[in-house]
Amino acid sequence: MSIENTNNTNNNLFKKNILSISHLDMDGYGCQIVLRKFYGEFQKMNTTYGNIKKYIGILDEILTRTFYDIVYITDLSFSKEELKELYIVANKYKDTMFYYIDHHIVDIDYKRLITNNFKLIITNKASATKLVYKYLSKKYNIKDKELETFIDYINAYDIWLKDKEPNNFKIGFFLNEIFWNKGKNYFWSSYKDNFKIKNSDKDYYKSIIEQKNKLFQKLEKSKRIMKFDDRIFLIYLDKHQSFITIDYPNYLVYIIIKSNGRGSIRFNEKLENYNFMNTLKNKLLDLEYIGEAGGHELAMGCHIKKPTPKLLVDLGKFLVKEIDILLENKGL
């Protein structure tokens, strides 16, 4: 664990000592890109859902020796218990403002947790990046059209608006490929003051797609791509290739399982409001070999604690079976 300094002193409108803890994906970094645009320099950390409890302890320890005016915690899908723990920490440091901003819904009465120094902004209607921007732009009465467009790309991809906002989704998909394949540090430093899509990234993306198409041909031949009618699509990947479902017809559910034990599930927008994510999340967490699971209405993920080839296959079978039941129960 390390705390990074954003080292950006271009924006000095708001002289505050700020700490940001956010998710390790594009939406998590998107939240911090927005914070940087408004505040300039601040301290940042990034983690996964599985490390939340650990990072609450780290936050508590940091605040015993360093004062922060504001702590932003974004896109981290806290459980009910973790949110209560964060509330306890916030109650210890009443001179620090805590903002928990997320689009992962928690089954808890939020109003009971809100205090003078602990604010919660939680809704599944937008990505965390967009929620952070909406809050800050309203708070400080500042708009940035170029940044807003960039945020719309991240938002459309992260909450899977493939059909509702196809152009934004397509560019968001492209940005996610850049984020994972060129690296988080590149993405963080590249989209700093200029939020227009870079020609060099477009060229790089073409090479990614060429490699990916070759990979898919091999996977089809080796039967590591499985299709269950027009409802469920399952693919096993040896390494991270981002989310490849844009290349295929509109199945109802896409399951992607990687050799590192990461599983991703994407739901077609036709399944909006069915709340399949929460049902699957609870069933996954009941499995002894699953370390974490969570997400939002149309997109979720899980992680095998100690992945083996057998467990990867078991996870695929489990997800296909449970999703098939969910679809059947809805007459789909």
Sequence spans of domains, the chain: 4-140, 224-329
Cα dihedral 82→87→89→90 (10° resolution): 140
- Asked if 236 and 257 count as a contact pair (C-beta separation under 8 A), the reply is yes
Count the neighbouring beta carbons within 10 Å of the beta carbon of residue 216: 17
pLDDT at 74 over 80: yes
178 half-sphere exposure, CB direction, 13 A CA radius: 26
Residue 194 DSSP class: -
Tell me if the domain spanning 224-329 has CATH number 1.10.3470.
no
223 vs 233: CA distance, rounded Å: 12
Instruction: Give pLDDT tens digits for 297-308.
Output: 788 889 999 999
The two structure tokens encoding residue 238 = 């040896």
Query: What are the CB-based long-range contacts (under 8 Å, 24+) for 78-87?
Result: 78/52, 78/102, 78/104, 78/106, 79/52, 79/106, 80/106, 80/107, 80/108, 82/52, 82/53, 82/56, 83/108, 83/113, 84/108, 84/113, 85/53, 85/56, 86/56, 86/59, 86/118, 87/113, 87/115, 87/118
- Asked if 171 and 149 count as a contact pair (C-beta separation under 8 A), the reply is no
Q: pLDDT class for 199, splitting at 50, 70, 90?
A: very high
pLDDT at 126 over 80: yes
pLDDT at 20 over 90: yes
Residue 242 contacts by C-beta under 8 Å, 6 or more apart in sequence? 173, 176, 177, 180, 181
User: Counting Cβ atoms within 10 Å, is residue 257 exposed (0-12), middle (13-18) or buried (19+)?
Assistant: buried
Residue 154: the pLDDT is 97
Average pLDDT, the chain: 88
- Asked if 139 and 164 count as a contact pair (C-beta separation under 8 A), the reply is no
Count the neighbouring beta carbons within 10 Å of the beta carbon of residue 180: 17
Percentages (nearest 5) of helix, strand, coil residues in the chain: 45, 20, 35
pLDDT at 69 over 50: yes
Residue 121 contacts by C-beta under 8 Å, 6 or more apart in sequence? 99, 100, 101, 102, 131, 135
Do 4-140 and 224-329 come out as alike in CATH topology? Answer: no
Q: pLDDT class for 272, splitting at 50, 70, 90?
A: confident
31 vs 147: CA distance, rounded Å: 12
Q: pLDDT class for 30, splitting at 50, 70, 90?
A: very high
The second-level CATH assignment, the architecture, of 4-140 is 3-Layer(aba) Sandwich (3.40)
